[in-house]
Amino acid sequence: MSAKKIASKIPASKPTVKSSRAKDESGTPLSVVIRRRIEAQKARFHANDNISAFIKPGELEGLVDEVAEKMQAVLESLVIDTKNDHNTQNTSRRVAKMYVQEVFNGRYVDQPALTKFPNVSRLNELMIIGPITVRSACSHHLCPIMGRIWIGVLPSEESALIGLSKYSRLTEWVMCRPQIQEEAVVELADMLEKKIRPIGVAVVMDADHFCMQWRGVKDRDSKMINSVMRGAFLKDFNLRREFLALIDRK
């Protein structure tokens, strides 16, 4: 029999998903292993929580494998022919890597290291950082949230100072998780207060929510804008007005 005829009798294989790293030695899925560690410490693991303390080196690759395997099942349940559709072959793995390594990465990796500098010059004037690009996802539908953030800081003589790029890195780390905007800005403000101990912190976020624009009401012009004012920004009307006047949201 010719090689051509033999090849024609071999059924086309399904897209393969690596699973060797997706389970531990006993065959337990890696996500279950991680979940048990968290539950043993009575810790929370909501969509917007960072769980990096419970993930061991090398396990993120295994988590990608597990998510890819389950994403393949989702595609099959959606009746998508990933075997013959060249556009969706390996889509399950691409999506798994996107979630774990990119758009939800803030759940799985440690907080970025911060280099702090003493306030030698005793700076105590308003500083504004922004707009910082925000890419997040709504935890209700896992649809994108795309927008901008402005951060206002009023340091004291005792405050620590951090490099400008660290504001962007911290913002990205907080935002790369499924969440709602109202909680995200509060978490960012809390973190900045704790890290630099300023007299005041202000955060304003302006974002498009694809859960409104892409689905549901399909209103492409609606945005969400919210602010968090702490310390001097909350108590001093003139400082708050100066900050809001200086940020350019156009």
Q: What is the pTM of this model?
A: 0.85
Structure-token pair, residue 205: 């976020």
Residue 50 half-sphere exposure toward CB, CA atoms < 13 A: 16
In a domain, 128, yes or no: yes
∠ CA(196), CA(198), CA(199), 5° rounding? 170
User: Model confidence over 60-98: pLDDT tens digits?
Assistant: 999 999 999 999 999 999 999 999 999 999 999 999 999
Q: Give the C-alpha separation, 209 to 232, whole Å.
A: 31
Q: Which of 98, 217, 206, 226 is nearest to 145 (CA)?
A: 206
Q: Which of 132, 133, 139, 134 is nearest to 99 (CA)?
A: 139
CATH number of the structural domain spanning residue 224: 3.30.1130.10
In a domain, 74, yes or no: yes
Please report, for residues 111, 182, 192, 207, the alpha-carbon distance to residue 202 in angstroms, rounded to integers and kept in the order given: 21, 14, 10, 17
pLDDT mean over 21-25: 71
pLDDT at residue 3 in the model: 40
Structure-token pair, residue 236: 């001093």
User: Model confidence over 147-184: pLDDT tens digits?
Assistant: 999 999 999 888 888 888 999 999 999 999 999 999 99
CATH number of the structural domain spanning residue 26: 1.10.286.10
pLDDT at residue 20 in the model: 57
pLDDT at residue 2 in the model: 42
Assess whether 92 and 158 both reside in one domain: no
User: Model confidence over 94-128: pLDDT tens digits?
Assistant: 999 999 999 999 999 999 998 888 877 787 889 99
> Which of 107, 124, 148 is where one domain is finished?
107
Assess whether 172 and 235 both reside in one domain: yes
Residues 136 and 148 sit within 8 Å (Cβ to Cβ):
no
Assess whether 65 and 148 both reside in one domain: no
Torsion 132-137-63-85 (CA) sign: negative
Assess whether 62 and 162 both reside in one domain: no
pLDDT band at 249 (very low <50, low <70, confident <90, very high): low
pLDDT at residue 8 in the model: 45
Range of the domain at 50: 12-107
In a domain, 6, yes or no: no
pLDDT mean over 229-245: 96
pLDDT mean over 198-218: 93
Share above pLDDT 70 across residues of the chain, in percent, rounded to a whole number:
90
As to burial, measured by CB atoms within 10 angstroms (0-12 exposed, 13-18 middle, 19+ buried), residue 127 is middle
Work out the mean pLDDT of the chain and round it to a whole number.
Answer: 89
In a domain, 226, yes or no: yes
